[in-house]
Amino acid sequence: MRKVLLKIAAGNRGTAINELIGIAAACIVAAFIVIPQLRSFSTTVMDTLATWWGEISGKIFETS
């Protein structure tokens, strides 16, 4: 397996660099676009769950 990987890496040296540049570009795009959207999504989910739990706990643990 190691010999095969070394052979692929030796023959496609430029391709490996291009793949690394592509991965780095994808990470940069994710940092600026995806991560802020995940933050707003998680805030919405947590607010909704807090409201839901308030309703459920009111029904389960009724106080008179």
Domain boundaries, the chain: 2-60
pLDDT reported for residue 48? 96
What is the mean predicted confidence (pLDDT) over 28-51?
Answer: 90
pTM exceeds cut of 0.75? no
What tokens were used for 2?
A: 């190691």
Helix (H) or strand (E) holding 18: helix 13-29
- Please give the pLDDT value at position 36: 84
DSSP 34-59: IHHHHHHHHHHHHHHHHHHHHHHHHH
Structure token pair of residue 7: 């052979």
Q: Which two tokens stand for residue 31?
A: 């940092």
CA atoms within 13 A on the CB side of 31: 6
Task: Give the dihedral sign, CA 15/21/24/30.
Answer: negative
